[in-house]
Amino acid sequence: MFKNINGFLLPSFKSVLHNSISIFLSKSILPLSFFLLATLIVRKLGLAEFGKYSISISLYSIFELISLLGLDNFILREVSKDNSLAPKFLVNGLVLGLFSTAFFYLIVSFVSNLLFYPPEIKLIIYILSIALFPAFINTLCETLLISLQKAKYILYTSLLREAFMLLLSFVFLSVFPSLYLVMLAIIISRLIGGLVYIYFLAKNGIKIYTKIDPIFFKNIFKVVTAFALISILSNIFLEADILILSKTVAVAEVGIYSIAKKIMRLMFIFVYSIITALFPIISHKYYVSKEKFLSLYRVSFKVILLLSSFLVFITFLSVVWLIKIFFGKAFIDSVIVTKILIFSILPLSLSFLFSRFLIVSNRQNKDLLALCIGLLLFIIAGILSALKWSYTGMAFASVISITILFGIHYLFVKKYVISLLKA
């Protein structure tokens, strides 16, 4: 049953629980599938080829999320208030995505040339970047389904898409071992995922129609600027370490660091998924009740703190086993890097949580300021540390920079959100 409270459609606790589990599982599938793909590449092609893959996927990942222009957070906030906006966001979002991904394809090509990557890495990036538009479709549809409380369809599609990607990659690598064919498998799987998502949306009454609303399209451009900048900076923050290393150390060393980062990101996804599931609830509480919002703030902080601490502890103890099982003894050098980098999970999780509180309170400009400061410090510290201590220095720089980012987010939330609500 649904209750209409102050314009919000709130599902029963059972529905919220089901959607939270679906979001959690679907968000966990993506890093897990790429973790398995990384394992497959390392075992089939070796560390040098994996280093090329790591550089390419890191650069691509930045532009994949930048090309969204921050629409995911904006749509989630707006469609949760008014479900009738979903068809408009779908059709206008697809048009916007077509132009956005075409533009960023040119930009990513330009950046890969600007960084003077070897020809084989450039070609991998060119091929992989074709996936920008199908990836945009996937994220757009996922956001709409979360807003409509239909997250189970995200889980179904994610399972199908990622299983297909891994199967196709395995077949390609078994028949003709080539990194280019792995990129092709990623592109095909994203196309299939987009088609399945559109089918599920149509099944729930959200269909693509040909009419474009110029006014609605124009209004989207007006409001997404801050969200787009947040998306750009946050994703550069998450991938800058690999890009810096790609210009300061050997390709094989990039691969060693990348293995450590894959493990860290895989652990972080558990916390990320829970916070993503909480986002609509946080948004609702803010507009309905100050007391409930403040209570949720305190509870969520404690839960995320305990969960992320537990993940750090477990990963620290099991890192040797994880690397030996998935990558083999030849890559044991990644152990020390992982043991350093894993400590970034705690501040990264809390920083992401506090950024959600800034966004729901319409303080996204403060989130943007925090990212600007944190990214600048990260780039400076990262370059200096990588030049002096290679990938080990980069790991330390990453942990310190993310901790500073969390500190800035915490101060902004206390000053511009919590203090004002208590006043």
The share of the chain scoring above pLDDT 90, in percent, equals: 40
Residue-number span of the structural domain to which 203 is assigned: 2-422
Mean pLDDT value across residues 56-74: 84
Q: What is the pLDDT of residue 399?
A: 96
- Round to whole Å and give the CA distance between 50 and 251: 9
**Size (the chain), residues:** 423
Return the pLDDT at 129: 93
Distance (Å, rounded) from C-alpha 40 to C-alpha 58?
A: 18
Phi, psi for 115 (deg, rounded to 5): -85, 0
| C-alpha to C-alpha distances, 174 to 34, 279, 326, nearest whole angstrom | 18, 42, 18
- 260-319 confidence digits (pLDDT tens): 888 888 888 788 878 877 787 787 778 778 888 898 899 899 989 999 999 999 999 998
Q: What is the pLDDT of residue 205?
A: 82
Rounded Cα distance between 361 and 285, Å, is 11
So what's the pLDDT on residue 246? 85
| pLDDT tens-digit map of 109-121 | 998 888 888 888 9
CA distance linking residue 247 with residue 115, whole number of Å:
8
Three-class SS state of 70: coil
Q: Give the chain's count of helices (H) and strands (E).
A: 15, 2
The whole-model pTM stands at: 0.75
Q: Which residue has the higher pLDDT, 85 or 169?
A: 169
Name the E strands within 226-378: none
Mean residue pLDDT of the chain comes to 86
Q: What is the pLDDT of residues 343-376, one digit of tens each?
A: 999 999 999 999 989 988 888 889 999 999 999 9
4 φψ region: left (φ > 0), alpha (ψ -120 to 50), beta (else) = beta
* 3-class DSSP assignment, residue 8: strand
Say which residue the tokens 């652990």 belong to: 267
pLDDT in tens, 149-184: 788 899 999 999 999 999 999 999 988 888 999 999
Phi and psi angles of residue 239, each rounded to the nearest 5 degrees, phi first: -115, -5
Neighbouring C-beta atoms of residue 108, cutoff 10 Å:
23
State the average pLDDT over residues 21-42: 83
pLDDT for 15 equals: 60
How far from 302 is each of 130, 237, 305, 405, CA to CA, in Å?
A: 42, 25, 5, 19
> 188 pLDDT band (50/70/90 cuts)?
very high
Q: What is the mean pLDDT of residues 72-81?
A: 76
Indicate the DSSP class of residue 277.
H
pLDDT of residue 239: 81
Query: Residue for token digits 């970047």?
Result: 129
Q: What percent of the chain has pLDDT over 70?
A: 93
Tell me the pLDDT tens digit for each residue of 386-403. 999 999 999 999 999 999
- Number of Cβ within 10 Å of residue 9's Cβ equals 16
The alpha carbon of 172 is separated from its chain's Cα centroid by a whole number of angstroms, namely 27
Task: Tell me the pLDDT tens digit for each residue of 304-314.
Answer: 999 999 999 99
Q: Which two tokens stand for residue 383?
A: 């370059």
Give the pLDDT of residue 190.
95
Q: Which helix (H) or strand (E) holds 5?
A: strand 2-5
From 406, 417, 154, 416, select the one nearest 304 (Cα to Cα): 406
Q: Which one-letter DSSP state was computed for residue 116?
A: T
Cβ atoms within 10 Å of 311's Cβ, excluding its own: 21
SS3 241: helix
For residue 15, the 8-state DSSP code is H
Whether 58 and 243 have beta carbons less than 8 Å apart is answered as yes
Task: Judge whether residue 335 has pLDDT over 70.
Answer: yes
The DSSP secondary structure of 72-114, one letter per residue, reads HHHHHHHHHH-GGGHHHHHHHHHHHHHHHHHHHHHHHHHHHHH
Question: For residues 85 and 185, which has the higher predicted lDDT (pLDDT)?
Answer: 185
Residues 50-69 have a mean pLDDT of 85
In the chain, how many domains are there?
A: 1
For residue 288, the model assigns a pLDDT of 77
**Binning pLDDT at 50, 70 and 90, where does residue 22 land?**
confident
DSSP conformational letter for 148: T
pLDDT at 3 over 70: no
Note the pLDDT of residue 256.
87
More confident residue, 413 or 262: 413
CA distance linking residue 412 with residue 201, whole number of Å: 38
